[in-house]
Amino acid sequence: MVEHAYLIPLLPFLAAIVIFFLGRWLPIKGALLGIVACLISFGMSVDLLMQVMDGTLKLPMEMRYPWFDVGLFQFEWGVLLDGPAMVLLVAVSGISSLIQIYSVGYMHDAPRFKRFFAYLSLFTSAMLALVLANNYLQFFIGWEIMGACSYFLISFEFERDAAGAAGNKAFLTTRLGDLGFYAGLLTIFFVLGTFNFTQIAAHLHDGNVTPHMALIIALLLFCGTVGKSAQVPLHVWLPDAMEGPTPVSALIHAATMVAAGVYLVARSYGFFLQAPQALEVVAWVGGITAIFAATIAVAADDVKKVLAYSTISQLGYMIMGLGVGGYSAGLFHLTTHAAFKALLFLGAGSIIHAVHTNDMWKMGSLSKQLPTTFWTFLMGTLALVSFYGTSGYFSKEMILGAAYGSHHYLLYTIGCAGAFLTSFYMTRAFSLVFLGLPRERDRFAHAHESPWTMTLPLIVLAVPSILLGWFMHQPETLAKFFPMEGLHEAAEPRWVGFVALGSGMMGLVVGGFLYLRSLTLVERLAQIFAPVNTLLKNKYYVDEIYWALFVRPTGKLAQALSWFDFNILDRIFVDGFGWVASLWSKIQSWIDDYIVDGAVNSAGWSAQNLGALARRVQSGFVQNYLLVITMALVAMLMAMESFVGKH
Partner 1 sequence: MTLSLHHFLMLSAILFGIGIYGVLSRRNILGILMSIELMFNAANINLIAFNHFLYPNQVWGQGFVIFVMTLAAAEAVVGLSLVLAIYRNIKSVYTEKLNILHG
Partner 2 sequence: MAALLIGLSLVVVTSRSVFRSAIALTAALGVVAGLFALLGADFVAAGQLLIYVGGIMIIMLFAIMFSHRPAVGLDRQTNDQWLWGALFALAVACGLIVQFRAVYRGVFSTTVSMPTTISIGRLLLGDMVVPFEAISLVLLAALVGAVYFGMDYEERL
621 near partner 2, rule: CB under 8 A: yes
Name which of 610 and 638 has its Cβ closer to partner 2.
Answer: 638
Nearest-approach distance from CB 587 to partner 2, in angstroms: 50
Is residue 30 within 8 Å of 117, Cβ to Cβ? yes
Which partner from the list partner 1, partner 2, none does 643 bind, CB cut-off 5 to 8 Å by kind?
Answer: none
**613: contact with partner 1 by CB under 8 A:** no
Whole-number Cα distances in Å, 574 to 22, 212, 263, 577, 620: 45, 50, 50, 5, 67
With binding defined as CB under 8 A, does residue 603 bind partner 1? no
Q: Which residue from 627, 629, 636, 640 is in contact with partner 2, where contact means CB under 8 A?
A: 627
- Residue from 545, 569, 603, 631 that binds partner 2 (CB under 8 A)? 631
Q: Does 626 bind partner 1 (CB under 8 A)?
A: yes
Vertex 456: Cα angle to 453 and 457 (nearest 5):
95
- Computed on alpha carbons and rounded to an integer, the radius of gyration of the chain in Å comes to 39
Whether 335 contacts 468, CB under 8 Å: yes
Beta carbons of 127 and 256 less than 8 angstroms apart: yes
Tally Cβ neighbours within 10 Å of residue 445. Answer: 10
Least distance to partner 1, CB of residue 621, Å: 6
Nearer to partner 1, 622 or 644 (CB): 622
How many CB atoms are located within 10 Å of the residue 605 CB?
11
Query: Does the footprint of partner 1 cover residue 619 (CB under 8 A)?
Result: yes
Options 83-91, 182-190, 339-347, 619-627: segment touching partner 1 (CB under 8 A): 619-627
Q: CA 513 to CA 508: how far, in whole Å?
A: 8
Cα angle value 199/202/208 (rounded, 5°): 105
On the CB side of 99, how many CA atoms lie within 13 Å of its CA? 35
643 near partner 2, rule: CB under 8 A: no
Among 634, 636, 639, 640, binds partner 2 (CB under 8 A): 634
Residue 497: how many CA atoms within 13 Å on its side-chain side? 13
615 binds partner 1 (CB under 8 A): yes
Closest CA to 119 of 13, 268, 239: 13
- Give CA separation, 222 vs 165, 170, 175, 177, 256, in Å: 26, 18, 13, 8, 17
Residue 620 binds partner 1, judged by CB under 8 A: yes
Any idea what DSSP says for residue 55?
T
Q: Which of 630, 636, 639, 640 binds partner 2 (CB under 8 A)?
A: 630
Q: Which stretch binds partner 2 (CB under 8 A): 135-143, 535-543, 571-579, 622-630?
A: 622-630
Determine if 627 is a binding residue for partner 1 (CB under 8 A): yes
Minimum distance between the CB of residue 611 and partner 1, rounded to whole angstroms? Answer: 10
Chosen residue from 618, 643, 644, 646 binding partner 1 by CB under 8 A: 618
Please choose which of partner 2, partner 1, none residue 634 contacts, taking the beta carbon within 5 to 8 angstroms, the exact cut-off set by kind: partner 2
Minimum CB–partner distance for residue 614 and partner 1 (Å): 8
Q: Is 624 in the site for partner 2 (CB under 8 A)?
A: yes
What are 333's strand-pairing partners? none
First to last CA, the chain: 129
Task: Give the Cα separation of 143 and 258 in Å (integer).
Answer: 10
Q: Which stretch binds partner 2 (CB under 8 A): 389-397, 472-480, 524-532, 626-634?
A: 626-634
Q: Which does 618 bind (CB under 5 to 8 A by kind): partner 1, partner 2, none?
A: partner 1
Dihedral of the CA atoms 12, 13, 15, 18 (nearest 10)? 170
- Could you list the beta-strand ranges (E) of 165-292: none
Residue 615, contacted partner among partner 1, partner 2, none, CB below 5-8 A by kind: partner 1
Q: How far is the CB of 617 from partner 1 (least distance, A)?
A: 7
Burial class (CB in 10 A: 0-12, 13-18, 19+), 386: buried
Stretch that binds partner 1, among 138-146, 373-381, 550-558, 623-631 (CB under 8 A): 623-631
Q: Which stretch binds partner 1 (CB under 8 A): 137-145, 364-372, 565-573, 618-626?
A: 618-626
For partner 2, the closer of residues 607 and 638 by Cβ is 638
Distance CA 17, CA 20 (A): 5
Cβ closest to partner 1, residue 509 vs residue 633: 633
Instruction: Using the rule CB under 8 A, give the single segment among 190-198, 438-446, 512-520, 621-629 that binds partner 2.
Output: 621-629
Phi then psi for residue 40, to 5 deg, are: -60, -45
Spatial separation of the C-alpha atoms in residues 295 and 372, rounded to whole Å: 30
CB atoms within 10 A of CB 76: 18
Q: Cβ 638 to partner 2, closest distance in Å? A: 8
Contact between 610 and partner 1 per CB under 8 A: no
| Binding region for partner 2 (CB under 8 A) | 621, 623-624, 627, 630-631, 634, 638
| Binding region for partner 1 (CB under 8 A) | 615, 617-623, 626-627, 630
